[in-house]
Each structure stands twice: as structure tokens, then as C-alpha cells.
Amino acid sequence: MKQKINIGTIFFLMALLMLISGVIFGVFSAQVYIFPNFFKNQLGFETLRPLHVSSVLLWILLGSTGSIFLGLHYINKNAISKTMAIVQIILWSISIIGIMFSYSNKIFGGREYWEFNPIWALPIAIAWILFIINFFKVLHRIPKWPVYIWMWMTGIIFFLFTFIENYLWIFPYFRQHFITDMTIQWKVNGSLVGSWNQILYGMSLFLMDKINNKKDIGRSRVSFAMYFLGFFNLLFNWGHHIYTLPTESYIRQIGYLVSMTEWIFIFKIIYSWRETLTQIQKQYHHFPYRFLMAMEFWVFANMLQAICMSIPAFNIFSHGTHITVAHAMGTTIGINTMILLAVCFEFFIPTITLTRKKEKCLNFLFWGTQISLFCFWINLNIIGIKKGLWQMKKMKEPFSTMMNSLHPLFQAFNLFGIALMFFLAAIAITLLIRIFKQKKLYN
């Protein structure tokens, strides 16, 4: 009997390779802060940074796609169109090769976070349209949708809408109106994050139901209430991204009010803390649950930071500093990556298959990741605070003097970044080896 290819696993193979690339390019980029001439004649910071950013974005997008395919396969094994999904993989592969080739040859042409030539965005858009068609093909076979199905659907639809909006700048009308152009670009960057957050937060609820072998979390009223609040934030929370632009004041006011609704998420986490501790005691032996536990901590920490950054006075202070970088790193690694790694361990490395020695090794990598990420995050925030204070001074010292004073912090930032690269790359390589050894490429 011919074995069928597991589409979700192939997407995760590609995603894990992007994760390894992302952390390596991230460490290379960080060297420039210590050694300004590092790789200057070969790639340089202007190339290393987009290689890092695009690799991490591709890790999240490919991982999110793979997560949904694995989830749908678990719910209904024969509903996914394999042919359509394989075309998706081919389109993604064309785009990835094109993006990496362009960066390596210093061929740019895009905007912030999407600095590659827009032509390589076309295969991604077509692949995502096929993804939506494939997803809706499965939906009619699923009765009484749990909340995570709604979240996946919301995320994939709004990602396509926002991704297209991201390229409005290619039309002369938008390029000729600077404020409109900048407003759209900064709005898009917030909305895109909200889109894949819907997918990944939905995936965390799916995993909780799967781990507990129940369906109560995905169908509870609280989960649906949190979904609608998250959807509301996806629609309007981007307003705080454009505080510093001279747009209509009501847009900033709405953005601020919507951002303040995130206190509900904070109160929900605090209120559920005792129950969370009980669940940790029950499920700690289950390895994927440890990543979900870590994700909850990072949701709390980064949501508090996001609320602070949504306050106009603090936003002016933090804008353009490493506080923004810390928030981006905290959400990308602490939240998105933890959820995706939880998916990987749930589907590719079941806890019951681990020997005591392997479990100790993975436990070391898990806690090494959390500790190095926390130190990395704190360090970036300290750098950001110092730069923010410099920005607020009436009589500023020269920029070069301020940057030289931060040199010890940049050295620590570099050290923590290398540690984080080691732990995340080791986890990714472990997963890749396990997938091939157990032949998880097939159903």
C-alpha cells in the first residue's frame, strides 16, 4: 500500500529550517553592534538584518500553515486536498529561494519587514489563496465548530487581506501621499501580527483540548469571549502604531481605547493563575505543555509591555528604541515560537517515547531557551530605556557617545543572543532528526 505524504509535516520541515536560519542570521546581525566591520564586505548589516527578519517571518507563517494542516488532519484525516497543498509548497519554495537569492545579492525593493522585491510576494499570495480554499473545503465536514476553528479561519482570511494591503505602496497614488503611505505601512505591521496571533492562539487552545483529551476548552463561553475580544483588537488595535504620525486624532483615540481592553486579558491570566498552577502540576510531565506554560508567561509579560507602549506619553519615549525590538522579540520567540514548538513536540515527539536521558536533555534545552530569552529581553529593554532617556534630554550628548556608553550592554546582548541561538537551533535540529528517524513525513 502506497503511503501518503503528511502535508503538515513538510511545512514544518521547511519552517524549522527557517527557524535555524533566522537565529543564525540574528546572531550575525548582532555582531555588528560589537564589531562594526563584521561581514561588511560580504553581506553587511543591511543584508543580514532582512535575512534574519524574513527567515523568522517565514518560520511563523510556514509553521502556522503546518499547524493548521496537522490540526485538520487530526480532526478529519481525509478532507485535505493534497494536490492543492503540494502546489502551495512549490509556491512557497519558489518564493523562499527568490527571497534568499535576492538578499544574498543585495537586491532589495520592498518595505520594512518585507524588504525583498514585491515579485516574490506573488507566490506567497497565490499559495495563501489556495490555503484558504483548502481550509474551507474541510470546514463543511466539521460539525459545531470549536473556537479554535473560528480563530484559524479569522487569522488566515485577515492575513491575506492585510498582506495585499501591505503592497498598496506599489501603486503611485499611495507613494505620492506620504502620510497615507506611512499610515498603511505601520498599520499593516500591527494587523499582520494580529492575524497570525489568531491562528497560533487558536492552536494553543486546540493543543490544550488534545493534551487533556477533552473538548471543553475549545467550546467554553470564556474561550469564545476571548476570541471576540481578540478579533476586536485585530480590527482596531493597530491605532497605537501610528501615534507619531499626523493623522486624525480620533484614530489615535480609538487605538488607545482598544489597546486598553487588553487589560481584560491580563486580569483573565491573573484570575486563572491558581488553576494554571494546578494544571502545570498535573501536566508538567507532558513536554508540549511546558512550552504552553512558557507561552502563558510571555503573553503576560509582553501584554503588559504592549499596554505600556499604547500609552501615548510612553509611546513617544519608547518609539525608535530597543524597547520596541524587545517587544518584537518577546512576542515572536516567547509566544509564537513557544506555541509552534509545542505543536512540534505534540505531533512529532510524544512524551511517552522519550527515554529518561533524552527527556533530561530536552528539559535542559527548554530551560536554557527560557532563561537566555528572559536575559535577552531584559537586556534589550534596558538598552531601550537608556536610549529613550537620551531622546528626552533637551541638551543631548552626541549619538556616538551615547552608543559607546551602551557597549557593555551590547556585549551582554550578543552573549545572550548566542546562547538563545544555541538552544533554539538545538531544539530545531532535534525535531528534524526525530521527524526523519520516525518517518513522520507519512501518515
Q: What is the pLDDT of residues 349-361, one digit of tens each?
A: 876 666 788 888 9
Global pTM? 0.89
Q: What is the DSSP letter of 442?
A: B
Query: Exposure of 174 by Cβ count < 10 A (0-12 exposed, 13-18 middle, 19+ buried)?
Result: middle
Task: Say if 287 falls within a structural domain.
Answer: yes
CATH of residue 437 = 1.20.210.10
Please report the pLDDT score of residue 443 as a whole number: 54
Task: Say if 417 falls within a structural domain.
Answer: yes
Query: Taking the alpha carbons of 162, 164, 166, 168 in that order, is the dihedral positive or negative?
Result: negative
Q: What is the DSSP letter of 140?
A: T
**Regions of the chain with pLDDT less than 50:** 1-3
Residues 6 or more apart in contact with residue 342 via CB below 8 angstroms: 204, 207, 288, 289, 291, 292, 295
**Rg value, the chain, Cα:** 22
List % helix, strand, coil for the chain (3-state, nearest 5).
Answer: 80, 0, 20
Angle (deg, nearest 10), helices 147-165 and 121-139: 150
Please report the pLDDT score of residue 1 as a whole number: 34
Task: Say if 116 falls within a structural domain.
Answer: no
Task: Say if 398 falls within a structural domain.
Answer: yes
Please report the pLDDT score of residue 273 as a whole number: 55
Please report the pLDDT score of residue 393 as a whole number: 78
Distance CA 433, CA 154 (A): 33
Give the closest residue to 196 by CA, choosing from 146, 219, 230, 223: 230
In 3-state terms, what secondary structure has residue 30?
Answer: helix
Task: Say if 394 falls within a structural domain.
Answer: yes
Percent of all residues in the chain with a pLDDT value above 90, rounded to a whole number:
35
> Dihedral of the CA atoms 79, 80, 81, 84 (nearest 10)?
160
How many domains is the chain partitioned into structurally? 1
Q: Which domain holds residue 356?
A: 262-443
Distance CA 58, CA 127 (A): 13
Task: Say if 35 falls within a structural domain.
Answer: no
Please report the pLDDT score of residue 327 as a whole number: 86
Strand partners for 111 = 114
Please report the pLDDT score of residue 282 as a whole number: 60
Lookup result for grid cell 525583498:
116
Distance CA 377, CA 326 (A): 5
Give the closest residue to 347 by CA, choosing from 215, 208, 209, 207: 207
Please report the pLDDT score of residue 150 as a whole number: 92
Distance CA 37, CA 44 (A): 8
Task: Say if 369 falls within a structural domain.
Answer: yes
Maximum separation of any 2 CA atoms in the chain, in Å = 77
Task: Say if 9 falls within a structural domain.
Answer: no
Please report the pLDDT score of residue 82 as a whole number: 87
Please report the pLDDT score of residue 181 as a whole number: 81
DSSP run (H or E) holding 367: helix 356-392
